[in-house]
Amino acid sequence: MIRKFLPVAAACLGFAAAALAQQSKPEELPTAPEPQLTAKAAPVTTLAGGVVVERAGSQPLELSIDDAIAHGLQHNVRILLQLQNQRSVHGQVLQVKNNLLPSMSAQASTSTQEINLAAMGFNPSSIHIPGFTGTFPEIVKVDVTSAQLNVNQQLFNVPAYFLYRAAQRADDVASWTMLNERGTVALDVATRYLRALADSAEIDNARALLKADQVAFDQAKASHDAGVGTHLDVLRAQVQLQTQQQALINDENTFAKDKIALNRLMGMPAEQELVLTDKAPYAEFAALPLDQAMTLAFERRKDLRSLESQVEVADRTLKAVKYERLPSLSFGGYYGVIGETHGLYHGVFTAMGKLSFPIFQEGQLRGEREVATAQMNGLRQQVQSLRVTIEQQIRSAMLDVEAADEQVKVARSNVGLAAQALDDATDRYTAGVDDNLPVVQAQASLAAAQSRLVETLYQYNQAKLMLARNTGVVETQYRAYLGR
């Protein structure tokens, strides 16, 4: 009986191992509302077995971050696989439950056969019955028809009962693991979307700087042609212009690759063109007290809830092992009719009670108990370790949010100062007070400052998403954390 439950336990442990390896923590009870996509859904192809494969649409797909997360939660391959794993565990739980339910089956058969009595050693001439003048045929034809109803029922089986209770908790483990995976996908999709927004901002900055560099180059060339500028000024301006062209090419390439990665996270074809409709959000984040964040995480972290459910599975499995020493009582039997196909039928039945208990199985029973005890103790240690890890993750995430917020403020100030420095250097060069070296240097400083601002803003939003993930609410509350 215990061995029948091993596939369910193995599946649950597999889910837990995957969740702990990723250290991912989704959120809880309310499910995230699924926003309506702002564009038509991509066309799909349905393969054998009901497998749906999306095809790239002919038009670019307008996509907000809400749309991206909703699409990912529906079509990401990890979600689809977890759904099938959850379905598999539920089926195994039903198999365990079946051990407690009555088993009833009906069967019917009809047969016809001819028997060669002589071939079986029967010699009719050797039989002498006084007063009987007939003969015995050597070839006999027999037609038999039967039908019966079979019933089996466990009347007393404590291990089977506790195994069923353990299986119920195993089903919960699969559900928590599914929710945990949803949180992971929501975090990954949102992070990749923000990364693509950062790439887009880099491209906008690069194009603006490229226009400014083109103006500076044209101005230097015109001054040189007029005889009031130096060839060195032209070379500096041209080098800066081509450097910015290289930066723009690199930014556009990075943006294209990140959109492909976003497509795959959402379960869409890699070639699907996307138009990101959101802008990189920035909003001050109200500090969440540590004790409140810890309480929220202990309630909403699905990896923790999954481990706690596994402890209950192991505890009930251990009880089932302990009670294997008790006797089990079952009932079985059948009732039916049998007779010649075109003749008389008569009822037949069997009623049987079965009482069984182990005698010489002490080694097996002790071994199973040791294994179950070790598994339960190990899971309890994992729960305690994860609680400490949760506190460490929340503290680190809070520090990251605070630091990133300060970095954004400094980066914004730095962009303003760099822009002012460029204006001053440009004015001096236009007035003929200085050459264009300070202008080129100021342009490079402004480009670096803008790039740092884009990166720090991305890191700030990413840090807030990680804090939401570490408290277990990223799927339902990512909008609040991003300030949308």
Q: What percent of the chain has pLDDT over 70?
A: 87
- If DSSP states are collapsed to H, E and C, what string results for the chain? CHHHHHHHHHHHHHHHHHHHHHCCCCCCCCCCCCCCCCCCCCCEEECHHHCEEECCCCCCEEECHHHHHHHHHHHCHHHHHHHHHHHHHHHHHHHHHHHHCCEEEEEEEEEEEEEECCCCCCCHHHCCCCCCCCCCCCEEEEEEEEEEEEEEEEEECHHHHHHHHHHHHHHHHHHHHHHHHHHHHHHHHHHHHHHHHHHHHHHHHHHHHHHHHHHHHHHHHHHHHCCCCCHHHHHHHHHHHHHHHHHHHHHHHHHHHHHHHHHHHCCCCCCCCEEECCCCCCCCCCCCCHHHHHHHHHHHCHHHHHHHHHHHHHHHHHHHHHHHHCCEEEEEEEEEEEEECCCCEEEEEEEEEEEECCCCCHHHHHHHHHHHHHHHHHHHHHHHHHHHHHHHHHHHHHHHHHHHHHHHHHHHHHHHHHHHHHHHHHHHHHCCCCCCHHHHHHHHHHHHHHHHHHHHHHHHHHHHHHHHHHCCCHHHHHHHHHCC
pLDDT for the residue 18:
42
The answer to whether residue 426 scores a pLDDT higher than 50 is yes
Which CATH number describes the domain made up of 2-101+156-326+363-482?
1.20.1600.10
The answer to whether residue 54 scores a pLDDT higher than 80 is no
- What are the tens digits of pLDDT across the range 191-205? 999 999 999 999 999
Q: Give the residue with greater pLDDT, 32 vs 262.
A: 262
pLDDT for the residue 420:
93
Q: Give the residue with greater pLDDT, 122 vs 203.
A: 203
Q: Give the lowest-confidence range in 104-108, 133-137, 364-368, 391-395.
A: 133-137
The answer to whether residue 51 scores a pLDDT higher than 60 is no
The answer to whether residue 219 scores a pLDDT higher than 50 is yes
For 127, list phi and psi in degrees, rounded to 5.
-100, 125
Measured CA to CA, the distance from residue 221 to residue 237 in angstroms comes to: 9
pLDDT for the residue 220:
86
- What are the tens digits of pLDDT across the range 150-174? 999 999 999 999 999 999 899 999 9
pLDDT for the residue 2:
53
Return the domain boundaries, the chain: 2-101+156-326+363-482
pLDDT for the residue 34:
35
Contact partners, residue 388, CB within 8 Å, separation at least 6: none
Q: How confident is the model at residue 432 (pLDDT cuts 50, 70, 90)?
A: confident
And the tokens for 66? 């809400």
What number is the average pLDDT over the span 17-21? Answer: 41
Measured CA to CA, the distance from residue 444 to residue 244 in angstroms comes to: 9
> Burial letters for 135-149: b for 16+ Cβ neighbours within 10 Å, e otherwise?
eeeeeeeeeebbebe
Rg for the chain, CA atoms, rounded: 38
The answer to whether residue 55 scores a pLDDT higher than 60 is yes
Q: What percent of the chain has pLDDT over 90?
A: 55
The answer to whether residue 3 scores a pLDDT higher than 70 is no
The answer to whether residue 261 scores a pLDDT higher than 50 is yes
Average pLDDT for the chain: 85
